[in-house]
Amino acid sequence: MIHRWVTLLALIGVLAGCVTETVKTTSVPTLATYESELADDEILDIAVAVFDPGIADADVDENIYPEIRRAEAAFVARELALVLDDQGVWGASRVVPSPDYISDVVVSGSIEQSDGESLVLNIEARDARGRVWLDKAYSGSTSRYAYQQTQRVKRDPFLGVYRKIANDLILAFKALSRDERLAIRNVARLKFAQSFAPEAFADYLKTDESNITRAVRLPAESDPMMARIATIQQRNYVFVDTLQGHYDNFSGSMEAPYNEWRQYDPSGERRKPNPSLSISKTPPP
């Protein structure tokens, strides 16, 4: 098995207010979508931040290996983004390095448990206004036999977890009125403008005592400053889209050895890395 560890660890170095509810899932639900055609100005972009690997207080005896968890943090985010993209509802579903990224909706999370047999993710989703869409723990269980897939189309053993998250996001989206969807887009646009020209757009947004942000006023369509900001934003989209290629390459290269590691425990003993291996401490971007 040493060659499997060498392969996996080498790949890791390449890219060197709500009540929490626990949702357990062992099956794969149907992926929900939007039943009718959406107006273009109501379509929201959604960003999935690279997950917190959940290793700050990790104990070695807990069978948590930082290098694996850091790789999983990007891998899990990409898997969720792919499921969101399959829904055909969101304008763009992107993996981003940080939950501070400005988007219509941002999904962030932490890995509570991941050992190949069980996956537990703590998920939070907020829109640009600061309103919470989700604050839940999602979990799923499988066996090592789920990794021995012979069918033509393979799927992640924890696809059910990702689909449950995606379906709950759609429920939150459906509960919004058209005015609320437009408000989210306007706040996201103005937050981006403020990040580049804080003085020019200082009085366009107001945040109340509940940390909910709303647009006090909107710039004119012919505002030259907003035209420049729009150009910068398009360049930002190009940069983030380029990042998707890096995440795709990393996760795609990691998938096979990672799944071998996740399933390999035939004797019931805990998986342990070879202590002689040189391990990169640099997480994916």
Most confident among 57-61, 261-265, 281-285 (mean pLDDT): 261-265
**Where residue 15 falls among pLDDT bands split at 50, 70, 90?**
very low
Higher pLDDT, 163 or 117: 163
Cα–Cα distance between 109 and 133 in angstroms, integer? Answer: 13
Residue 153 falls inside a structural domain: yes
Residue 271 falls inside a structural domain: no
pLDDT single digits (tens) 103-142:
999 999 999 999 888 999 999 999 999 999 999 999 998 8
Q: Report the DSSP beta bridge partners of residue 25.
A: 140
With 50 as the cut, is the pLDDT of residue 26 above it? Answer: yes
pLDDT single digits (tens) 81-103:
999 999 999 999 999 999 999 99
Higher pLDDT, 273 or 255: 255
DSSP string covering 245-267: HHHHHHHHHHHHHHHHHHH--TT
Helix (H, G, I), strand (E, B) or coil at 49: strand
With 70 as the cut, is the pLDDT of residue 173 above it? Answer: yes
Asked if 248 and 81 count as a contact pair (C-beta separation under 8 A), the reply is no
Question: Mean pLDDT of all residues in the chain?
Answer: 83
Residue 283 falls inside a structural domain: no
**Where residue 150 falls among pLDDT bands split at 50, 70, 90?**
low
Close Cβ partners of 116 (under 8 Å, ≥ 6 residues apart): 144, 147, 261, 262, 263, 265, 271
pTM summary value: 0.83
Residue 233 falls inside a structural domain: yes
The candidate with the shortest Cα–Cα distance to 136, out of 90, 169, 87, is: 169
Residue 266 falls inside a structural domain: no
The share of the chain scoring above pLDDT 90, in percent, equals 62
CA angle 194, 199, 203 (to 5 degrees): 75
**Where residue 149 falls among pLDDT bands split at 50, 70, 90?**
low
**Where residue 154 falls among pLDDT bands split at 50, 70, 90?**
low
Domain enclosing residue 17, as ranges? 2-261
Tokens matching residue 41: 């100005």
Confidence (pLDDT) at 6: 45
Cα–Cα distance between 15 and 168 in angstroms, integer? Answer: 31
**Where residue 285 falls among pLDDT bands split at 50, 70, 90?**
low
With 80 as the cut, is the pLDDT of residue 24 above it? Answer: no
Tally of domains within the chain? 1
Residue 168 falls inside a structural domain: yes
Sign of torsion, CA 123 126 132 133? negative
Residue 276 falls inside a structural domain: no
Residues listed for the chain: 285
Residue 155 falls inside a structural domain: yes
Confidence (pLDDT) at 20: 46
